[in-house]
Structures are given as C-alpha cells and as structure tokens.
C-alpha cells in the first residue's frame, strides 16, 4: 500500500567554530566549521497532491514570517531537484511548520531542504544512503548536508564536506534572537571589507575545540567558540555587541554569533543557568526573543507516515 505522505523532523544548528578563508576568484570562500545540531526543529510534511497541481508549498509555525512559498524557497528547490534526478511524480504538497529562526544563522532554510530530501527518499522508497542524500544536498547549499547528518561534524570546503566529530556530553544553549535577520551575502561582503589588505590564512579546526568536545568539557568549549564572521555581523548590527556583553555578564561560559548571524548562541553550564540567563536577556530589552535548547541532536528523520 502506497504511503500518502511523511513527516520529517529536522534540527537547526549552531557553529561552534567558523573560520573563513580569503575571497577566491570564483566569488566563494573556503571555510572550516564545527557544526552542532540543536533541539529546535522544523517539521516538514511531504504528501502526494492531486494531478496537475505541481509543487505547492505552505508555511506555518512561530517563525513563519517572511519565508517565501515560491520556487525561491530551498525546500521547493529540493523537491524539484529530487523530481528531476529520479523522474518522480511532480504533484507534491509541502507543509513546513517552522520553529527554527529565519535568516538567523541557524540554517533554517537549509534544514527544510534537507527534510524534503529525506521525505522524498521515504515517500518514493528510493533507498538512498545517507551519503547519497548528502551529495544531493550539497547541490542546494553548504549547510544542507549537515542538516541530514546532525550530531556534531566538521565542515570543510564550502562547509559541505563533512567529517563526524567524536564528542561526549550534552550542551545547554540559550539563543538570543534579533528583531530582523541578516543576509548571509551581506555579512560575507562586510567581512571582506573589514579584512581588506590583511593576509588571511587557510582555515583550520582549532585543537582546543576538539579537545573540549572529546572530553565533554563545557567550560573549555565556551572558551573555544569562535566565528570569523562575528565582527562583520556586529559591524552591520552594532546592537549584537551589547547582546554578547549581557550574556557574558550573566555567567555564560561562552558566546558566539551563529553562522552569519544575527542569532547569538550562549553556552551555559546547566539548565538552571540557562533559565537564569533567559530571564536576564528577556528583561534586558536588547533581544527580540530567547530560546533555550540543548545539543547535539539527530539530523533529519521521518517521525510519521501518513
């Protein structure tokens, strides 16, 4: 009996480290990053639709504002790519229930694209391996493969060449949201402007961050958080510096702008400290919203068959 649809749950991410190489002739930057999937999820439902309806995309959820529902959406592009690659039925309905912040440096759009790939594999019983799905995901964007993998991984190249990281423990995060998102391209452009004339080395993973993850040492990990795009994000959005200061003043082990921002991720010792920092940030008036979460968590996976 043919399935009518599937629901896939997919996590957001924080970048524990993001090192950015110089601007290359093709307009891209080599990056080395350490991803951690965190337990803030979008649920993506993919179902067969009536003949002739094509791909339809609908958005709901607490962070749905501003998310496109046309072919510019990465989830839509993922569906079209899967249809073209595997010659599949093109009448598909996609419903995304969003909880991952939009344009917040947490790969919300990439996560939805990853979920669509996993959903198509299950719905059409394609039998793709994780590696196979990750290769398809890499055609859509640098963060999409990690959303399939989850856990903790090093990303190289454009961020899409993944190596799992041996890690222990669960980490407590407080995420401070900004009232408006930041364009990834604008942040990279500002990073290039700020680094004009500087000799930029090839990006490498720091030994200290890998040591912290192997040991499950949250305090050492807090000291190891780094992001080469943070100065650029703060330059474009100066209020982020105040957010970072508030978190550290209230006892965070470390703070980092996630990805291209503007979400600020604070690592804290435990749930009690997470609650204290959430209250302090909420009362400070410098953030639009606060979320508590933990990591690492699984990548995109089917949670329901319809």
DSSP β-ladder status, 152-156 and 92-98: unpaired
Q: Which of 42, 112, 143, 228 is catalytic?
A: 143
Instruction: Give the whole-angstrom CA distance, residue 28 versus residue 125.
Output: 36
Instruction: Give the whole-angstrom CA distance, residue 285 versus residue 266.
Output: 17
Taking CA atoms, 110 is separated from 11, 27, 153, 192, in Å, by 10, 20, 16, 24
Does the annotation count 47 as an active-site position? no
Taking CA atoms, 262 is separated from 37, 67, 136, 254, in Å, by 17, 17, 28, 16
Instruction: Give the whole-angstrom CA distance, residue 45 versus residue 193.
Output: 41
Q: How many CA atoms lie within 13 Å of 292's alpha carbon, on the beta-carbon side?
A: 17
Does the annotation count 135 as an active-site position? no
- Residue 296: cis peptide before it, omega within 30 degrees of 0: yes
List the catalytic residues: 13, 143
């Amino acid at each position: 009996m043919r399935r009518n649809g599937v629901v896939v749950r997919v996590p957001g991410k924080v970048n524990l480290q993001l090192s950015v190489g110089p601007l290359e002739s093709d307009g891209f930057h080599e990056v080395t990053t350490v991803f951690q999937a965190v337990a803030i999820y979008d649920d993506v439902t993919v179902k067969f639709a009536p003949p002739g309806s094509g791909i339809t995309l609908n958005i709901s959820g607490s962070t749905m504002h501003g998310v496109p529902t046309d072919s510019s959406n990465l989830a839509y592009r993922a569906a079209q790519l899967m249809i073209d690659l595997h010659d599949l039925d093109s009448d598909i309905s996609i419903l995304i229930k969003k909880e991952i912040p939009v344009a917040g440096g947490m790969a919300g759009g990439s996560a939805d694209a990853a979920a669509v790939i996993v959903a198509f594999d299950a719905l059409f019983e394609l039998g793709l391996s994780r590696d196979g799905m990750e290769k398809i995901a890499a055609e859509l964007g640098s963060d999409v493969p990690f959303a399939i993998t989850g856990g903790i991984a090093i990303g190289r190249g454009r961020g899409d060449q993944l190596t799992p990281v041996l890690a222990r423990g669960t980490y407590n995060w407080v995420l401070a949201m900004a009232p408006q998102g930041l364009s990834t391209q604008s942040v990279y452009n500002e990073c290039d402007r700020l680094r004009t004339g500087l000799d930029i080395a090839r990006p490498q993973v720091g030994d200290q961050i890998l040591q912290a993850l192997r040991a499950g040492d949250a305090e050492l990990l807090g000291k190891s958080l780094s992001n080469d795009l943070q100065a650029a994000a703060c330059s474009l959005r100066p209020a982020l510096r105040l957010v970072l200061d508030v978190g550290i003043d209230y006892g965070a082990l470390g703070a980092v702008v996630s990805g291209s921002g503007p979400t600020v991720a604070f690592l804290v010792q435990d749930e009690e400290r997470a609650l204290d920092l959430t209250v302090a940030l909420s009362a400070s008036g410098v953030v639009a919203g606060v979320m508590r979460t933990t990591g690492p968590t699984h990548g995109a996976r089917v949670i329901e068959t319809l």
